[in-house]
Structure 1
Amino acid sequence: MVATIAITFLGTASAQPSSTRNHSSLALRLDGHVWLFDCGEATQHQVQKSNVKMGKIQKIFITHTHGDHIFGLLPLLASRLNGAGGMVEGVEDPRIQNTASSSIIEPIEIFGPYGTRAYVRSGLKYTYTNLGGPYVVHELRMTNDPPPSEDSSTLSLDHAELLTGRNIVQQADGTWRDIFASDMLTVSAAPIHHSVPCVGYVVHERPIPGKMNPSMYVPHLKRTGTPMSVLRQLQRGETVQLSDGTVLQGPERRPGRKIVILGDTYDPSPIVPLADDTDLLVHEATNAHLPSVDPDTKASDTYKSVEECAKSRGHSTPQMAGAFAKRIAARRLVLNHFSARYAGDDDSNEKAKKVMNALRCLAEEMFGEGKEVICARDLMTLNVEPRE
């Protein structure tokens, strides 16, 4: 069981950053480890302002290769892996000797759609960046991409990139299941509809121990002189047979937590088979019609026209996000990826607070009365608690 699962939003803007919102990125904190989802421009600055530790970043999941979701990847890699611009002629850079040849350093793993590997290689090569630690890129290949045997880059590996990068093929249902799996967590993915190839990710905690009621077991342990340490086995759901033949069964395991993190999308339907019954859904809400709240609302706009405009650019409105949250029976919905016209300082700015409340209400109308909707802002942290 993962003791702590928390999300810190490092950037919540769409397209252009603003003085109150940075480009897209969020950090999923899993006990002492950190996984980033997207890495827009200046993400490393946001990390420095947050409770996220740069040295704890282990994996980076890219939803799509639009600049506002990936332009911060190379600078962050350089900082995380002690990169530098090389040495003067005739002096050998020690980073080149100590990087990929080291079996001790755990590589940074990068997952993303076709082209992610080419972007990283090109950026490192043409900025003359030597990394002091290894990385590996796994590409999620869609059916219309080149064959998995083909690399997305014509450049060869540099000293820091490991040979173990996979080209992961879609399964029959169009998803990529278990692109990462450990004893405690799995990560799966699916394509979602945007203006370019885009991916949504599902982080799923494996079943966790059920709630323990020691009073059910202690009398039996005392009666048979069994050490109380057996309670730990029972807490894990194991079966224990006592000296008198009594069999004690630990509580049934509970479903683990599930987090769905979508990239930009006007229709995330392909991820439904993976996303059902999620604890937390992060869904974009780029545009909205706020006639009584937003003074910049055009007289010709309607809810329908704004939605159609958002869809034409590959994006969603709060109502679309709320409807999808209801469709997958989400427990909480976090709206993210806001237009630059929607300020992110709603904790201190009354106008921004009014706008965010209006956006929240639009999503709630579709999600359902009493359902929790949160409007993300930069450096906000949300905990995902275990299910009862």
Structure 2
Amino acid sequence: MSSLTSVNITILGSASAQPSSTRNHSALALRLDGDVWLFDCGEATQHQIQKSSVKVGKIQKIFITHTHGDHIFGLLPVLAMRLNGAGGMVDGAEDPRAQAVPAEDVQPLEIYGPLGTRAYVRHGLAYTHTLLSSPYVVHELRLPTDPQDGDYTEMPPHPLERPGRSIAQTEQGVWPEIYKGALVTVSAAPILHSVPCVGFVVNELPVPGKMDPKKYIPELKRTGTPMSAMSRLQKGESVTLSDGTVLHGPPRKPGRKIVILGDTYDPSPIASLAEDACLLIHEATNAHLPGIDPNTKETDTYEIVEERAKSRGHSTPQMAGAFAKRIRARKLVLNHFSARYPGNDDVNEEARRIMDGIRELAVNSFGSGEVICARDLMSFDVGPRAEDRPSGE
């Protein structure tokens, strides 16, 4: 397989600091064919997974944008659930379950996050006496002001923790290709929030270009070349025919790009990595909605609400739309809403008016492209790049 056949996003939580009856804390699942990657893991994410079509056993990687509780408090329960964790005895040496050793070929669950992620996981597992049956590893994205080596904790590793990388920034201030697989890469960059925070860019590797059989089949037949050569041409390879003629497959095209940001009042440092995104997921914590939101303060203005959001490290829908326009994103998903904005707009008329108002604010700044307001357990496919769609779509 030379490209992904299915890319899907499931919103597991769309709330900001406080959850509500209609919004859980931040978390989303990215499904790449059969694998599941989680981005952030707020409290009760394991419950949201159980309510969704996401399969726990398919979770291979977890990416943490920052260590605020509403983005990481659910990590340990998900880790224990995914790796068959159990409560151990105080003296683990006497617990037979602690003696289980996974096979050497078992791949560890990978966790990526900023400094402190490794210590949080290690201490949490230790002080809850949690036993695991499969390994995990934590890779940390280190800023220049962070220690560049070491675990930043005196707590010894969990028996099933594998050595992780401490990844330094490049001179350009980013973390390029922290993961590179056969079909996708993941890069990261810091974004501005009240604490160190990261945005992630998932890049599908170049995909085969559009194939025109009429260009190749006559030449293959003329020289008696097996039709199986078409599969090589489809991959962009070249085929030399018996008479010396060289057929070149169609040039490969850029794959899909998905940009997932943590909390931010200014994501500028990731802009160069995020350009031409198929999908941008950007927070929109606060909005000014006079005449729409009954809780709107009479003394507020658009400028006051924006300054208040920035002072707390957050964004408004207009700010999200402006960044989407800056990087030429095709689709914008607004996320991480204040608890005052209900998440049941699919069944409640007042909630629908509020979320339509928030979406419109972003549309006015974005100018073009689709804008969606995230709702818990919403799931949608990330289609091919616009230029790769079959005609008529």
- Displacement after TM superposition at 1:87 (Å): 4.5
Q: Are residues 1:108 and 2:109 paired?
A: yes
1:238-294 Cα offsets, whole Å, 9 max, x none, are 111112222211111010110000000000011112111111000000000000100
Q: Are residues 1:77 and 2:76 paired?
A: no
Amino acid at match of 1:159: P
Q: Are residues 1:179 and 2:178 paired?
A: yes
Question: Aligned-pair RMSD on alpha carbons?
Answer: 1.3
Number of the residue aligned with 2:206: 207
Amino acid at match of 2:210: K
Amino acid at match of 1:148: Q
CA contact (8 A) 1:96 1:160 kept: no
- Displacement after TM superposition at 1:383 (Å): 1.2
Classify the secondary structure of the residue corresponding to 1:38. Answer: strand
Task: For 1:70 and 1:273, locate their aligned partners in 2 and report how far apart those are by CA, in whole Å.
Answer: 27
Amino acid at match of 1:235: Q
Classify the secondary structure of the residue corresponding to 1:294. Answer: coil
1:46-76 Cα offsets, whole Å, 9 max, x none, are 1111111000000000000000000000001
CA contact (8 A) 2:90 2:129 kept: no
Amino acid at match of 1:384: V
Classify the secondary structure of the residue corresponding to 2:85. Answer: coil
Aligned residues, how many?
384
Given the two structures, how large is their TM-score scaled by the length of structure 1?
0.96
- Displacement after TM superposition at 1:114 (Å): 0.6
Number of the residue aligned with 2:197: 198
Identity of aligned residues (%): 68
Task: For 1:34 and 1:248, locate their aligned partners in 2 and report how far apart those are by CA, in whole Å.
Answer: 38
Task: For 1:381 and 1:107, locate their aligned partners in 2 and report how far apart those are by CA, in whole Å.
Answer: 27
Q: Are residues 1:153 and 2:174 paired?
A: no
Gaps of 5+ in 1: none
Task: For 1:217 and 1:133, locate their aligned partners in 2 and report how far apart those are by CA, in whole Å.
Answer: 50
Task: For 1:93 and 1:58, locate their aligned partners in 2 and report how far apart those are by CA, in whole Å.
Answer: 28
Task: For 1:227 and 1:273, locate their aligned partners in 2 and report how far apart those are by CA, in whole Å.
Answer: 44
Task: For 1:95 and 1:162, locate their aligned partners in 2 and report how far apart those are by CA, in whole Å.
Answer: 19
Q: Which deviates more, 84-93 or 302-311? A: 84-93
CA contact (8 A) 1:202 1:261 kept: yes
Amino acid at match of 1:303: Y
CA contact (8 A) 2:92 2:98 kept: no
Task: For 2:92 and 2:6, locate their aligned partners in 1 and report how far apart those are by CA, in whole Å.
Answer: 49
1:147-195 Cα offsets, whole Å, 9 max, x none, are 22232222011201012x0111111011111110112111111110000
Task: For 1:30 and 1:170, locate their aligned partners in 2 and report how far apart those are by CA, in whole Å.
Answer: 27
1:180-235 Cα offsets, whole Å, 9 max, x none, are 01121111111100001100000101101001111221111222222211110010
Classify the secondary structure of the residue corresponding to 2:162. Answer: coil
- Displacement after TM superposition at 1:5 (Å): 1.1
User: Which of 353, 364, 382 matches 2:380?
Assistant: 382
Amino acid at match of 1:332: K
- Displacement after TM superposition at 1:89 (Å): 6.2
Given the two structures, how large is their TM-score scaled by the length of structure 2?
0.95
Number of the residue aligned with 2:391: none
Task: For 1:141 and 1:90, locate their aligned partners in 2 and report how far apart those are by CA, in whole Å.
Answer: 33
Gaps of 5+ in 2: 389-393
1:268-321 Cα offsets, whole Å, 9 max, x none, are 011112111111000000000000100000000000000000000000000000
Q: Are residues 1:357 and 2:331 paired?
A: no
